[in-house]
Structure 1
Amino acid sequence: MRTQVAIIGGGPSGLLLSQLLHQRGIDSVVLERKTREYVLGRIRAGVLEVGFVNLMREAGVAERMDRECFIHDGTVISRDNLSFGINFKELTGSHVVVYGQTEVTRDLYDAREAAGGKIVYEVDGVEIHGADGDAPYVTYHKDGAEQRIDCDFVAGCDGFHGVSRQSIPLSVRREYEKLYPFGWLGILSETPPVNDELIYASSERGFALCSMRNENLSRYYIQCSLSDSPEDWTDAAFWEELKRRIPEEAAERLVTGPSVEKSIAPLRSFVTEPMRWGRLFLCGDAAHIVPPTGAKGLNTAASDIHYLYHGLVQHYQDGEDEGIERYSERALARIWKAERFSWWMTTLLHRFPDQSAFDLRIQAAEVAFLRENRAAQTVLAENYVGLPY
């Protein structure tokens, strides 16, 4: 098989790149380790920056998102039952959109299949060859037989545990990582959201987040121990703990119900450099991870796709390689700012096991300064709605 761009990973970043390239007449093949149904069964975040929304529109897959999404002009921060709002629209002139990652992925799958896009599911043993030369190719196993794709470029969109990052020699790549000493226990429930905007709550018992997917589907999180498992928490125990951490007025109007999904996610900050090796480009979780506190996971993947997509269009349509040659530099410049913001939000709102009394006072003062200072709120709002590409 021959294509221009081989894309490893059939999640939202790989599918978005494939669809954007298709819009500009550039051929691609997507390789996915799982089935479509498995990918769509994964529960992920749903806060989208305007830059991501605009990429969906450019890709021609925004109709349902524009119709069904929730536009959020701000968010709520609370600490020890004292809450305040941060108005994104007033401070930046922009907003964020709430639309589940599962729905984003579904829309992209539908668009690729309607366009006859080539997606190969349930592949195994993917290997990248010759990425540091002029004729890269990818091999994989499907139905017990080895297959080969010859291509001009390889886009590694296969996540943190994928083969793409590991294909860059250790002598070339450098990895930066910070592990956090807690996780997030999250549940999905078929209940109306407790608030029109997200609530980020810090309390002496730990962090909590109130989010949503739609008007009858809510997503809630609480900070928990890394030694916990979802089975340790009954639904009743989760709801009671959530109520203890969020503002009293929110706790009083919280509608509870059976969980339809429950999971625990560890938190980490991670970046690998460079994000390009020859004709191999890393995108999304293959290159970087952020704690979910700043709602940047899917959005950082989208910024990678923006830079790579424009670099590839420049190469194929203008015969100019500056975009692909500077891909890693441009992507990393924005990634590190998103990493900083996600780290800051995490340290601002969580309780750490080694915090001293001084540390807790400083944390409280930081929240108080944010509550009282418009400039500080503007900095948060600018980062939350998304820095420019």
Structure 2
Amino acid sequence: MKGSLLGKRVVQAAGWTTLLVLMGLAIFLFREGLPALTRLPHEGLVFAVHPSNPVTRLEAEAIRALLRGEKTWPDFGGPAAPVVPVYLGNLERYVPAHRDPALWRKGLDSLAEQPGVLLALPAEFLPTHTRRLEVSWNPWIELFGTLRWSPTYEPLPSVGIWPLLMGSLWVSLIGLLVVVPVGLAMAIYVVEFLPRPLYYPVKILWELLSGLPSVVVGFWGLVVLVPWIKDVFHLEAGETALTAGLILGWMTLPLMASLTEEALSAMPPLLVEASYGLGATQWQTIRRLKLPYVLPSLAAAVLLSAGRILGETMVVLIVSGNAPVVALTPFQPVRTLPATLAAELGEAPMGSYHYHVLFLLGGILFLLTFVLNLTAYFIQKRYVRTA
């Protein structure tokens, strides 16, 4: 009796500990990511133009277009003069660092006399004979309404997360297209056709496959699958969303097959015997009885597999091309949310806008995987209760 009570308390303590850890993780992620929605990335910088420039206010994307040379001042009602961008990242291009302060200040003053000048400097560096330019920054538009990811671009970063979401979507979709039919076929074969002496060796093999380090699998994909994809589809490079999706689908097969096999094995034998007694063949029993019966459990297995694929990092870093672009086909390089966190978080200065945006991405990834796993749990719970 005491042992049973102790075991119950241990299980309850483990459950509460898991819940508290998840809550603490979520709070930490969103506490660090919230400043990406509340602060400006250009804090400490003042944007200014020549006093004769009639433009008084610009959107952040408009300023980036001017800096990249995609737009000119007349596009926004400004002077017919070339854009002369001046910010900390390119200051030495105009004012060499070895000059003394007086000559340095004189160089800035001469730049400020250009009619098309666009300055983004700390207030103490700003020449006096300039007029400040108001910059409109909407974090929601910048994050969810733009299609460029360049969080270190000076002086205004581009933090549109759609390239990363699209990359995650492509990889997850391709992985599911591989893992769902193949994993289902594997489970049906093991339950219905595999000789019983081979059952446990196959299960052990599944466990071994699921335990392979993702780095090793990624290197194998880089050496074997990447050149094959390049040659078969006549691509410039084999590091694509298709490559990452195929490998992740293969890596997730043991999970999908094991969950489906457990659901099929748990089916009441009386139902199967009744089906055979009515004259149904083995395939008719599988297709018309077993698969509909385990459909909720199968849906849960698909969602859990999607969560596994969505959260994978190292394989995607190695074989996807790691390019934060909006991929319109699976034959383009992509970058996913986890790969972005792994590639950039170690280099982002703590407390910078880049740092906070990455933690916001971590919070979004946490929510996506949490919702997938929670949905799978409720589907399975409902299935067990109905059964």
TM-score past 0.5 threshold? no
Write 1 or 2 for the structure with the bigger share of helix: 2
Provide the TM-score with structure 2 as the length reference.
Answer: 0.26
Provide the TM-score with structure 1 as the length reference.
Answer: 0.26
Larger Rg: 2
